[in-house]
Amino acid sequence: MSDKDDRGPASALVADRDPALRRSLAALIRAHDPSLQIIEAETSRETCEACLIHRPVLAFVGLQFEDATGPEAVARFKAQGFVVPCLILVATQIFSRWTEVSQHLDAHEFLRLPLDEAHVAGLLQAHARRRQPTRLLLVDSAAQSRALVRRILATSGFNLAVEEIESGPHALKLARQAACDVALIDIGLRGGGGGLELACQIREVAPGTPLVLMTGGDAASMAQASRHFGIDYVLKKPFFARDVDRVLYHVLGLRRPYLINATTEALPAQAAAR
């Protein structure tokens, strides 16, 4: 993933009709990442033009401008082929269809005013981590299943570097030799004691690696049983990219967007603290 192209350095857009809010958000962004070029817009037209010209990696967009709404501006540049990697909608109140509108616009989060600096700082920290490579070890005996999971992972909001493994011994050897940020293991892994045994073995050789099991069975029961073995999460098949992202926010210690909480089902209880 690259945040630079022929348009120059990576940029962040702050678009709202309130100049004081724009200044506050711009200051928070600069404090977190001085390398980002800050672009401001106060109208829907300026917002659309800024996105198409500068292709920001991050954008805070207010819901209401003098000439149109924020969602209309987003829909306009989205229709021309550009989607902001991290779009944060800003409003004074939550409205009834906020999740539907946010999903339609490919928004990352919905930020409610008055400005909560801790919330913004958490979003910026998570955004920076999402742009960094996350090494994910995918272990599944079935080639077709691995291919399906790989397609799902390709649409994640995280920059995932996926290493696919079909056998437990190979996965264990790789985990021992090279650190990974998270291991995603199929519970029905063929050979040995299956996915749970492999997870326990990885816990021994790489104790800092977060472990996530995939199962097509009763995920709640599996989570309850596996919590004693240091498993961090259990994902029930079928799952989607947003479910994977929810897990990654947790295991990487990042602030999870309210929007992900609102659009994903509650996952099985995570394992007890290690």
pLDDT digit string, tens, across residues 156-179: 999 999 999 999 999 999 999 888
pLDDT tens-digit profile of 197-206? 999 999 999 9
CATH code, 11-129: 3.40.50.2300
Q: 62 near 21, Cβ under 8 Å? A: yes
Is it the case that residue 4 has pLDDT exceeding 60? no
Tell me how far CA of residue 105 lies from CA of 42, 74, 93, 210, 256, in angstroms: 19, 7, 18, 32, 19
HEC-encoded secondary structure of the chain: CCCCECCECCEEEEECCCHHHHHHHHHHHHHHCCCCEEEEECCHHHHHHHHHHHCCCEEEEECECCCCEHHHHHHHHHHCCCCCCCEEEEECCCCCCHHHHHHHCCCCEEEECCCCHHHHHHHHHHHHHHHCEEEEEEECCCHHHHHHHHHHHHCCCCEEEEEEECCHHHHHHHHHHCCCCEEEEECCCCCCCHHHHHHHHHHHHCCCCCEEEEECCCHHHHHHHHHHHCCCEEEECCCCHHHHHHHHHHHCCCCCCHHHHHHCCCCCCCCCCC
More confident residue, 9 or 40: 40
Domain ranges of the chain: 11-129, 133-263
The better pLDDT of the pair 211, 228 is held by 211
Q: Among 183-192, 228-237, 240-249, 255-264, where is mean pLDDT lowest?
A: 255-264
104 CB contacts (<8 Å, ≥6 apart)?
Answer: none
Mean pLDDT, residues 87-108 taken together: 87
Residue 263's pLDDT is: 75
CA geometry: angle at 126 spanning 121 and 130, to 5°?
150
CATH class of 133-263: alpha beta
- With a CB cutoff of 8 Å and minimum separation 6, the contacts of 170 are none
Same fold, 11-129 and 133-263: yes
User: 69 has which bridge partners?
Assistant: 64
Please give the share of the chain, as a percent, with pLDDT higher than 90.
76
